Structure 1
Amino acid sequence: MFRKKRNAQIIAFVLMLIGSLHSNAQGLPTIIEWQKCYGWNGWYADEGSKIISISNGNYAAVGKKALDGFETIWISNINRKGDLIWETTIFDDQSYTGFKGIDIIQSTDGGFIVLGRVNNLQKLRFNATNGRQIAEQKGQGFYDNLVVKLNSEGRMVWFKVLGGSGEDIPVKIIQTGDNNLLLLSYTTSLDGDLVNSNKNTVGFNRDLWVAKLNQDNGNIISKKCIGGSGDEIASDIKQTSDGGYVIVGSTTSNDAEISPNKGGKDILAVKMDASLNVSWKKTYGGSQSDEARKIVALSNGDLIVGITSNSMNNDFDNPISGDFPNNYEGNIWLFKLNSSGDFQKRKILGGSGNDVLNDLIPTQDGNFAITGSTKSSNGNITDRGRIANNNFASYDVVVMKVTSNFDLIWEKTAGGSADDEGNGLVESEDGTFVTIGTTQSFDGDVSGNHYHEQDSHDIWLVKLNYSCQANITTDKDFIATNTDILASETVSTSDKVTKNSSIHYGAGKSIDITSGFDSELGSVLEFNLSGCNDISATESRPIQIKIANECREGGMKFKFLPFTPNSDLSQYRMSIQNLSPKIEFNFSGNTLITKNNIPDNGNAYFVLTVSRDGYEDFSYQGYTSTCEHDNAPINCPENNENVILDKDYYQAGETFTAKWTGTLLPQQSLNWFIENVTIISNSGTSCTGRIDAFPAHIQAQPSSLPDGSRPCHGAIRVDFRGSK
């Protein structure tokens, strides 16, 4: 049953379905589906650095393994159950330490680009599952960057060693918009590949180094150093929606190049254009040590920065409490910046112990996920007590999911009685998460660790899946969020839902809407009594719809044309929810005729729901008016025009072409009304644009004539639907 307590106000449309057609349902708690230890019985420790999903649904990972005292760069292909398909190691039998895999991306040909760190290089050995390759190669100096192209089976195609005679520390490699590579590192070198990079020469300091590389051979196309008189340490780089790049890291400089410094180590953010020219540099900090670890660049230009900091003042000002007592332990922070680097908002996460953020990713539903390490057992860290024999003085892996407004959705710790660390995180196609890091434990959640008397570190992979909690109480601010709250028994909610959010509440017995619950017009709420059940046959792509309208006396006529792309109307069920009781509705089949009785001839809102077995429901909030107030004629003939798109389904960031099928009158133009769309060009009855985010739509409407009158041309709207 559904219960509303103490006059909670629901403004948005509430759709109550007994059978849900949602897939990939997510409940608040999580469980470990599987865990794997990879390692050898050698010292110097094994460690996982990064994991990615690849085109066939499996994973690729990098890190380091140690054998007989030699550290090796480790690259692997892993199936969906965590089993190794193949692995490649890269090492030099003349150099014992300093080798580590840092980053990996999949190339368009199905192979991989790997970024690694090498030390005092003499001769590289590539040991793949299906063969060995040896290459004579002298290093440039102490630590160097190694960029390697592997084929889809892990065999080396080409490699490049980049650096100078100092320390060159690799951080990140990404693909550029022109199908080349961009390397991010930091350096103390002035010679070798660093010549003409404009490095700051004040003291033996570290600067950021960015190098654009040819994807076919790794040759340098362009390069640049960024830094002041102190140390600049790079952590991450992402391409931005304008085609440029943003870098984050830390800085100790306080000079004309980089300032101000607010004490100790500050966060550094640098924006560059596509040609690597610096657009702006910003610092953020408190009085202690502040490190930006990761950044997410959103399609609207905003930037989300993942931070580890032990400051509690200036840009990290936060009320002192038992959970966050200002005891100089690190906390996880999230910052939101606009496209100019101006501060927008912040959030502290963790507890009173030391909490470290190592990875931050956007999720498929528009939220964010974090992995790292924690010594906390309060605040946002609530489940460490379930780990058998847990030692709270040691680190555990922590994974959190937060809303786009930075509110915590769930957190999960994993580990044993020794130190366990999460370094990388990936979301799988099914909405679950896999984290990679390292473990020293032999108990708790860990099994299969390889023992060595000096150092028993293993690479540790953990897949987190969703379980269904019996009873859930939730009080969150959901802002522009699409997520599910599921329980097998009951849900009690006092959430605040705004900015076109879509929230699905599911429980087996009852859902209580309690005092404080509120939702904003434009958001869609779904309540059902299916509990945690999921219909696996549901198509992940939703229904699309086109909407035609024209004026009628006292109101409007709407015609709804759904497709999946099958446009047989008998396959669809449609319903209308009237959000303005003063409006008269006549709805039959796929046609809605309204009569507006509001005295001021204003707009009135309704919600259309379209369902089809095996597909996700489509919900559309529209409005109707009397038409007279904008000089439109009444009793127009049927609107048979259409808007034709070049595809059925899109992804955010994709371009599209739309064409209106009608004919304009002389002195008339075609207006395009948009949501979350950027118009690139338009001519006549066609336009080209880019989808910035979902939900998104485009509407074609002929303009008024110069005398202010509007002929009988109705509007045609089409909603873009995302391909998951």
Structure 2
Amino acid sequence: MIIALLAVCMLATPVLGAVPALDWQTTYGVECTENAFAMVPLGGGKILFCGDTGKWAVNTHPGAKGQNDLWLAEVGDDGSEIWDYCYGGTDDDSGRSIAATADGGWIIAGYTDSNDLDVSGNHGGRDAWVVKLNPDRTIAWQQCLGGTESDVARYVIQTSDGGYLVTGVTASEELTGHNGWEDGFVAKLLPDGTPDWFYCYGGENIDGLLDVIETSGGGYLIRGYTGSDEIPGYHGFWDLWILKITPSGALDWERCYGGSDLDINNLYDRGSGLIECADGYLVLADTKSTDGDVTGVVQGDADIWIVKIGFDGTILGQATLGGEGYETIGTIRPVSGGGYILVATTTSSGGDVSGNHGDKDIWVVRLAADYSIVWQKCLGGSRDEYGYDVLEMTPGTFELVGVTQSDDGDVTGYVTPTGLILTDAWIVRLANDGGGGVPVPEFPGILIPGALLGVLGCTALLLRRRP
């Protein structure tokens, strides 16, 4: 009996799934800074995004107050701006998270330095700001949360009881339970916006909470970052920090994930990075570590790190994605047909990344259920772009929000004053996603994937039994 080895090899870059085409792109802005951070679908191919707009927009954006304002804009199926409006006071205001509500309106969370016009109840300095909008986009109510120092809301959801849960970061030492320089906070609001409870979480260093989901088993799962060594499992520098809390805010369990280096970027990471699965949770982070919990190969300064954990926080699997540069995370969401869509920011032009236009690009990655790359695409120009949120509009069609500073490459319509480099909100539609990878030929035998194949320049190794 002879054992024959058949190597299915490709010396060039492997062909993966069909990369979607850029259907359209539109910049939104005037001669000031505009940012788009998060969005919700409206139906009919339309979206509503939130962010902020600069002080020079006072004569161009409806409702602009004079400094940075919380900015809301509706975008049509063809990328055209249908409607926009600014909310806030005479100081700086911003919207970082938006969710649709059961009554046909929206809930937005961010921050405010104001205490006039649309804003009341500021506790001093910068407060977390939560705004409930009616279906006609007028303000139903607003709520300032925090203390006398800096407080910022990073995420908001409507809960199953009709209330709202807000996560963020606080430096206000007078708040009950505050432990360190900065703590993460969670605030539960009643349906009318009245605070139900407010708790700080963290240790003696800098900690913060990014986003949250309500779990099917009750309570909430929260993603954050910590630099506090008294948090269970702390590895060093900045760790990914996951908390499970009860419906009343009591801590069920918490755990750190990572290695001896940075494992989540507390300065740049935003978006949605939690997904509940049948057997646990999918968590999005980025890492510079090559030890501790990190078992994947980190190719550059920092890679995307996807961690699968069980309902008790135990690591079930993980993957790293990136190139020789630096990747920071935006949002990951499940897609029709299985797998995930990921939007991030990259400075790489090698490894898993190709097509970078220069400096920082938005990086869009379609992942299979096992986190392998189906396709990837860089979007941008010769300056900086950042990717924050992504939605699957219809099967195979995706819409991205972020910001751009470029006026070339994929970007047209960038507006900026002469001599300045500012950001415009940037919305991109990708269409005609092929949806899957290259099928494996159905030869009789045993398919052996593995790192050995990379040495051979192979995508698969097949052992066939020959009589």
1:29 matched to 2:19? yes
Q: Which residue of 1 aligns with 2:284?
A: 306
The AA in structure 2 aligned to 1:41 is E
1:107 matched to 2:101? yes
Q: Distance in 1 between matches of 2:133 and 2:463?
A: 53
Q: Which residue of 1 aligns with 2:136?
A: 153
Q: Which residue of 1 aligns with 2:40?
A: 52
Mapping for residues 563-642 of structure 1, pairs under 5 Å? none
The AA in structure 2 aligned to 1:461 is I
Query: Quick one: which of 62, 73, 94 aligns to 2:70?
Result: 73
The AA in structure 1 aligned to 2:232 is S
Shift of 1:243: 1.8
Question: Residues 396 and 88 from structure 1, CA distance in 2 versus in 1: closer, same or farther, beyond 3 angstroms?
Answer: same
Q: Give 1 or 2 for the bigger CA radius of gyration.
A: 1
Shift of 1:143: 1.5
Q: Distance in 1 between matches of 2:342 and 2:405?
A: 21
Aligned length, in residue pairs: 423
**Helix, strand or coil at the partner of 2:293:** helix
Q: Distance in 1 between matches of 2:53 and 2:130?
A: 18
Shift of 1:245: 0.8
Question: Residues 207 and 222 from structure 1, CA distance in 2 versus in 1: closer, same or farther, beyond 3 angstroms?
Answer: same
Q: Which runs of 4+ in 1 moved over 6 A?
A: 5-8
Contact residue 26 and residue 413 of structure 2 kept, 8 A: yes
Contact residue 177 and residue 243 of structure 1 kept, 8 A: no
**Helix, strand or coil at the partner of 1:401:** strand
Mapping for residues 480-499 of structure 1, pairs under 5 Å? 484-485=436-437, 493=440
Shift of 1:40: 1.5
Question: Residues 403 and 460 from structure 1, CA distance in 2 versus in 1: closer, same or farther, beyond 3 angstroms?
Answer: same
Q: Distance in 2 between matches of 1:245 and 1:346?
A: 22
Q: Distance in 1 between matches of 2:279 and 2:126?
A: 35
Q: Which residue of 1 aligns with 2:116?
A: 123
Mapping for residues 290-689 of structure 1, pairs under 5 Å? 290-291=263-264, 294-319=272-297, 324=299, 329-384=301-356, 390-391=357-358, 394-452=359-417, 453-466=419-432, 484-485=436-437, 493=440, 516=462
**Helix, strand or coil at the partner of 1:52:** strand
Shift of 1:445: 0.4
**Helix, strand or coil at the partner of 2:68:** strand
Query: Quick one: which of 216, 232, 247 aligns to 1:259?
Result: 232
Q: Which residue of 1 aligns with 2:261?
A: 288
Contact residue 494 and residue 517 of structure 1 kept, 8 A: no
Shift of 1:182: 0.6
Question: Residues 380 and 7 from structure 1, CA distance in 2 versus in 1: closer, same or farther, beyond 3 angstroms?
Answer: closer
Shift of 1:240: 1.3
**Helix, strand or coil at the partner of 1:456:** coil
Per-residue deviation, residues 586-606 of structure 1 (Å, max 9, x unmatched): xxxxxxxxxxxxxxxxxxxxx
Higher relative contact order (CA 8 A, sep 6+): 2
**Helix, strand or coil at the partner of 1:34:** strand
Shift of 1:493: 2.9
Contact residue 241 and residue 297 of structure 1 kept, 8 A: no
Gaps of 5+ in 1: 9-25, 125-134, 385-389, 469-482, 486-490, 497-512, 519-724
**Helix, strand or coil at the partner of 1:348:** strand
Per-residue deviation, residues 221-240 of structure 1 (Å, max 9, x unmatched): 12222111122111111111
Query: Quick one: which of 252, 255, 264 aligns to 1:279?
Result: 252
Shift of 1:350: 0.8
Contact residue 156 and residue 211 of structure 2 kept, 8 A: no
**Helix, strand or coil at the partner of 1:28:** coil
Question: Residues 244 and 516 from structure 1, CA distance in 2 versus in 1: closer, same or farther, beyond 3 angstroms?
Answer: farther
The AA in structure 2 aligned to 1:122 is N
Shift of 1:67: 3.3
1:83 matched to 2:80? yes
Contact residue 207 and residue 228 of structure 2 kept, 8 A: yes
Q: Which residue of 2 aligns with 1:568?
A: none
Q: Which residue of 1 aligns with 2:178?
A: 199
Shift of 1:420: 0.9
Question: Residues 81 and 336 from structure 1, CA distance in 2 versus in 1: closer, same or farther, beyond 3 angstroms?
Answer: same
Contact residue 182 and residue 212 of structure 1 kept, 8 A: yes
**Helix, strand or coil at the partner of 1:290:** coil
Q: Distance in 2 between matches of 1:319 and 1:55?
A: 40
Question: Residues 104 and 342 from structure 1, CA distance in 2 versus in 1: closer, same or farther, beyond 3 angstroms?
Answer: same
Gaps of 5+ in 2: 9-15, 57-65, 444-458
- TM-score, length basis structure 1: 0.55
**Helix, strand or coil at the partner of 1:381:** coil
The AA in structure 1 aligned to 2:143 is K
The AA in structure 2 aligned to 1:166 is E
Q: Distance in 2 between matches of 1:65 and 1:514?
A: 50
% identical aligned pairs: 27
Per-residue deviation, residues 136-190 of structure 1 (Å, max 9, x unmatched): 6252122111111112232222211111111111111011111111111121224
Shift of 1:467: 6.0
Q: Which residue of 2 aligns with 1:637?
A: none
Shift of 1:366: 2.6
Per-residue deviation, residues 243-291 of structure 1 (Å, max 9, x unmatched): 2111111111112xx1332121111110112222211110112111111
Question: Residues 363 and 74 from structure 1, CA distance in 2 versus in 1: closer, same or farther, beyond 3 angstroms?
Answer: same
**Helix, strand or coil at the partner of 1:212:** strand
Contact residue 62 and residue 101 of structure 1 kept, 8 A: yes
